[in-house]
Amino acid sequence: MCLMRLTYFSTLDIDQEKHSTLSQLVDILDAARRNNSKKEITGALIFDAQYFVQILEGERDSVWQTFKRIEKDSRHSNVTLVEMALASGRCFGNWWMSYAERNLANSRQFAPFLVDNVFDPSKMLPEQILSLMINLTYLSPEIELKLSGEDIKSRYILKQPNQGRALEASS
């Protein structure tokens, strides 16, 4: 298997009058985890209220087909491929799709990548995106999502391992 790592970002394009941001995120993560497990794609997703930033890892054709499907998803606009490169191993082998969002609990991880307190992935190198994703996935404590004044503990916040099964690159 040719293990690839694909990094992209996009801007949020959700009609918030028809669907809440939270319900759309849940739908996106449900679909990603369901589809990724079938294709043995692992990865991580960051959401900061404006941008999605995602890394996908897996077999070249599966990763590319997944990216092409994301490009057509109406919830994303301005989909920008940052990098698709060979990977010597998986960084997110324990997650079909890890998730983190920018908030006060992880502001220290985001701080080096902010310009005037604005997160802009277009100004980041692929290595910086990977470093941020790793820090958020492995070093951040679990957090609670606050939406409309109500605390919502979600199985999607921060991490959801592959049910204890790590995926490794095959030779």
Give the pLDDT confidence score for residue 122 in this predicted structure. 93
Say which DSSP state 18 is in.
Answer: T
Q: How many angstroms separate the CA atoms of 44 and 99, rounded?
A: 6
- Give the model's confidence band at 22: pLDDT under 50 very low, under 70 low, under 90 confident, else very high: confident
Residue 162 has pLDDT above 80, yes or no: no
Residue ranges per structural domain of the chain: 3-152
Give the pLDDT confidence score for residue 18 in this predicted structure. 62
The model's pTM is 0.78
Q: Which of 57-66, 130-139, 146-155 has the lowest mean pLDDT?
A: 146-155
Q: How many angstroms separate the CA atoms of 89 and 169, rounded?
A: 6
Contact 97, 33 (CB under 8 A): yes
Give the pLDDT confidence score for residue 56 in this predicted structure. 95
The string of pLDDT tens digits covering residues 40-92 is 999 999 888 889 999 999 999 999 999 999 999 888 889 999 999 999 999 99
Q: How many angstroms separate the CA atoms of 65 and 72, rounded?
A: 11
Give the pLDDT confidence score for residue 14 in this predicted structure. 66
H or E, element range at 152 = strand 150-152
At the topology level of CATH, where does 3-152 sit? Alpha-Beta Plaits (3.30.70)
Q: For the chain, what is the total number of helices (H) and then of strands (E)?
A: 4, 9
